[in-house]
Structure formats: structure tokens, C-alpha cells
Structure 1
Amino acid sequence: MGDFLKTERDGPVLTVTMNRPADRNAITDPDQSAEFVALAEELARDRSVRAMVLTGAGKSFCAGGNVKSMKEKTGLFAGSPFDQRTHYRTTVQTIGKALWELEVPVVAAINGHAIGLGLDIALMCDVRVMAEDALVAESYVRLGIIPGGGGAWLLPRVVGLSNASLLTLTGDTIDAPTALRYGLASEVVPTADVLPRAQEIARAIAANPGHATRMAKRLMREGMDQKLPTHLEMAAAYQALSHHTADHAEAIDAFLGKRPPELRDT
């Protein structure tokens, strides 16, 4: 990995921390995007990881893009319009693609501000636990730009078109109770509890066979854009694969024997 994403393994659960607290974990250079892509590629190969928690160091989850770099036209914001288009496509947009394609279930522990791209990253996660004093915003229009990290595609799917329009077109910041009411947050907890609660949920996910949770996540994500007959064909294929795994047989035996399963990720 690099110096932006810090990882900590606890059995089948991986906790990943965006680790530039001095910059509020803002995304400022291509290496940060590359770390997300590398992480997703590694987890695609490592079937022993059955759940992941994503959080931010310090008081912010992720402050999005670096506004000073925008003003100075440096880093991701340097060059001609064509250069900047290439920068977006090859850096920050790769984060959204990597997290969206990742089959390992991801729980976001939103410990503080999730602004712009930071909110887009949180939206790519499957479950969002939010600190009671955290704030989120799809604030691109406040800077005279548009959502560039995938939020305009996913936010309406998470909170509905009306709420997504309100957030995107005003750029307003909302608090945790409002995020919970919109369905953007899965839970709101005291700030000190946000990471432990996210890890608790991740452990509950990881207690299930990894092949089942990965394929169930894939089914839900593909189902957002599929017709029902196509979805059911995919489900039938995944179900058939599941029935022929050792972990399925072990889960059945454990259920009937009233004991925890001993999973082997096979």
C-alpha cells in the first residue's frame, strides 16, 4: 500500500483508514487514487477478507478535493480542459469504480465531515454508520463545478431523486439526523462509538460465508440496473455455485447442530 491508506487486520475484517488528518483526508494527488485501486485489486484476490471498514483519521472522514489546489490549478486541477478531463478519468473516478466493483462488503464509519468526493466515497460503501456530530454535503455546485466522482449517479439511488436534487443543487450541508431520515446513513451513533459500531457490523457480516456475501452484494448492485428476468438468471447461477461450496455444507451442519460455523472461504 502507500502512505494514505492505513490498514489493520482483525481476522476476516479489514479496517482501512484514510490517513492524512492534517488535510482532513482530502484527495490531493494521483497516488491516493492508485492506493484505492490497488486495495480493491488485492481484496478481489484475497477471499479470506470477508468485510471491510472504511474511515478517516482525525476529525474528518474525507473533505473531498483540495480547494487550494483548485484555485492554484495544480495537481489534479492543472492543465487544459482536456488535461483535467484525463486527470478525473484516471484518478478520482477510479476510486468510485474500484469501490463500486469491490465485492467485499464495506461499512463506512463516517467519523466527521464527508464533503464532495468524500461523500461520493461514502456512498460507494454498502452500510454507512455516522457519528452524531458528523456532517455531509454534495457541495460541488458551491464551487461552481459538478459532481465528478459518481455522486450524481449514486446519490439518487440512495436517497431518492427529490432529496438528491435538494442536496446536489443547493450544495447544502446536512447533519447526521437528517442523513438518517434521508436513508443516507444506516445508523447514527455517538462519535466515540462510530468505529467500534462499524467494526461490529463488519464482524456480523464476516460471520457468514464470504462467497455468499460477495455474490449477494454483486446481485444487489447489478440488480439496480437489471430487469427482473435477467436478475433471476444471475441469481440462479450464483445460487447453484453456492450449493457446491464447502462453506455452504458447513453452514448447514452448524445451523442444524446449533453451533457457530467454522468457515474456510471455499
Structure 2
Amino acid sequence: MTTVPDYFTKYVNLAFERDDAGVLILRFHTDGGPITFTGQTHEDFTNALEEIALDRDNKAMVLTGTGDTFMDQIDGGSLGEIFKPIVWEKIRVEGAKVLQRLLDLPIPVVGVANGPATVHSEYLLLSDIHIASETATYGDFPHPAFGITAGDGLHVVWEEAAGPARAKRLLWTGETIDAATALRWGVVTEVLPQDRVLARGIELARQLAAKSSIYLTLQKQTLNLELRRRITQDVPFGMALEGLTAAALAYQEQA
């Protein structure tokens, strides 16, 4: 009889289920519907990844959203007074850890964009295999809208996935691309109808989960060497600049 891990019911915006093949599905949600990302989500996802990594019953993971959206809403105020150094330092540490932990998971991750991914699209781009619904769109809504630099990993991950010119265009303008463009750019490997994309993600995860655990963990490390180097090297500086723009905005409001 399989015991349900404590973390399955621990996090308010994360829903979990696992099948007999050891495929863990992690689904972002808010009250059972599409997620509005909050400061609590930022903290919880970081911590949940550590628990997932330590759970040896997990053989592969599918990362997706709820309903027809991966993630396209954010509650900026819930992040707190990010212009204050002590608050931003918490955000900075969590932001760096979540990217590192996604890459350091000892299991492969299949990212399934079940719809718009204009908030924290880097989570999907860090997946080992990334597929999308025909309804998916990609971009960076919050940073251009708030006037804050995209230093939390978007600048690294999009450049690695799409190339410098395309990454700069998206991150400067706040424009979006559709799933067909993402496929043409090499950001995703498959585009499927909305009603088939999750099943395909699970199918791919089960194929990977059938392989030996030592192969999976070493292959994961092998194929992510450059991304891991860039995140370790470039994200701390990027997040420092992001924090400075947040402080500058607060100063302008007070002036």
C-alpha cells in the first residue's frame, strides 16, 4: 500500500498526483483553477522541489498548469516590499534556488504548456522535454509591465532556448509568441491540440521513468551542464539589477 507523501497536500498552489510508473504530475493552480502566482507560490515551489528530489518514488515529473492556462497572472503586491533589501534578499535566494533545483532534480521533467505561459515561462524552458498546446503563448508580462528588469533567470533561459536576438525582443517589448513560433524557434519540440497535450506529456514521462535511475540522474546532469553554469554565474547579478530597478521605482514614487 503506497503512502501519500506529506508534501502532496502541503502547498496551497501546487497539486500533486503520481501513477504506478512513478510519474509525478505537479500542477500549478489557485483554488482548483488557473494560478495567480504569489509570493507564497514563489517560496513554496522552491521548497517543494527539494522534497520532490528526496522522494525516491518519483521517477519522472510532468510540470503543467490548470485548465487552459499554464501561468499568466501574478499578484505583485503579495511579493512584499521588494524595494527593501531584506525582502528582496529573500526573493533573490528563492529565485536562484528554484532554477538550480529544477536542474538538479535527479529525475527528468516534461514541461507541458497547457495554455499561456507569460509568467515564469522559464520553469517550462528548464524542462528536459518541453511540449505545448496549440493554445500556448510565451513571453514576459510582469517585468516590462512593472518596469523591472528580467533578472530572475528569464534573461539566461530565453537566450539559451531561443538565441540572444529573439530573447532581447521578447524581454524588451513584452510581446508574446504563439506555440507555432515557439516550435519554429526550437523552444518546444511538439505542439498538440489542447485536449491531447497533457496525455502526451505523461506518455513521454513514462517512457523516461522506465529507464534506470542512475542513467536518469547522470543524463540529467550531462545535458544541463551549460545551463547550470550560466544560472550559477549570471542569475545572481541579474537579480541584483532587478532589485535595483525595484528600489528605483519606489524612490520615484516617494519623490
Aligned to 1:27: 37
Q: Structure 2 matches for 1:4-19, cutoff 5 A?
A: 4-11=13-20, 12-19=22-29
Q: Structure 2 matches for 1:114-263, cutoff 5 A?
A: 114-117=117-120, 119-139=121-141, 140-224=143-227
Aligned to 2:237: none
C-alpha distance in 2 between matches for 1:135 and 1:80: 30
Matched, 1:94 2:104: no
C-alpha distance in 2 between matches for 1:88 and 1:224: 21
Distance verdict in 2 for CA 1:23–1:43, change over 3 Å: closer
Structure number with bigger Rg: 1
Q: CA deviation at 1:223?
A: 4.4
Aligned to 1:42: 51
Q: CA deviation at 1:220?
A: 1.3
Aligned to 2:235: none
Q: CA deviation at 1:181?
A: 0.6
SS in 2 for 1:62: coil
Distance verdict in 2 for CA 1:93–1:225, change over 3 Å: closer
C-alpha distance in 1 between matches for 2:87 and 2:33: 22
C-alpha distance in 2 between matches for 1:182 and 1:65: 26
Contact conserved, 2:49 with 2:102, CA < 8 A, in 1?
Answer: yes
Contact conserved, 2:14 with 2:27, CA < 8 A, in 1?
Answer: yes
Q: CA deviation at 1:59?
A: 2.1
C-alpha distance in 1 between matches for 2:205 and 2:74: 28
Aligned to 1:61: 70
C-alpha distance in 2 between matches for 1:80 and 1:19: 28
Q: Deviations over 1:81-134 (max 9, x none)?
A: 4244224214444322321222311111111111132x1211221111110011
Instruction: Give the structure-1-normalised TM-score.
Output: 0.74
C-alpha distance in 2 between matches for 1:223 and 1:34: 26
C-alpha distance in 1 between matches for 2:226 and 2:86: 35
SS in 2 for 1:128: strand
Greater RCO, CA 8 A, separation 6+: 2
Q: Please, which runs of 5 or more residues in structure 2 have no aligned partner?
A: 1-6, 230-255
Q: CA deviation at 1:38?
A: 3.0
Q: Return the letter of the residue paired with 1:123.
A: L
Aligned to 1:104: 107
Q: CA deviation at 1:224?
A: 4.8
C-alpha distance in 2 between matches for 1:10 and 1:52: 11
Question: CA RMSD for the aligned pairs?
Answer: 2.2
Instruction: Give the structure-2-normalised TM-score.
Output: 0.77
Distance verdict in 2 for CA 1:133–1:42, change over 3 Å: same
SS in 2 for 1:198: helix
Contact conserved, 1:21 with 1:59, CA < 8 A, in 2?
Answer: no
Q: CA deviation at 1:63?
A: 1.9
Q: Return the letter of the residue paired with 1:100.
A: L
C-alpha distance in 2 between matches for 1:122 and 1:79: 25
Contact conserved, 1:111 with 1:131, CA < 8 A, in 2?
Answer: yes
Q: Return the letter of the residue paired with 1:106.
A: V
Q: Deviations over 1:53-99 (max 9, x none)?
A: 01111221112532xx3xxxx32142534244224214444322321
C-alpha distance in 2 between matches for 1:47 and 1:143: 40
Contact conserved, 2:33 with 2:66, CA < 8 A, in 1?
Answer: no
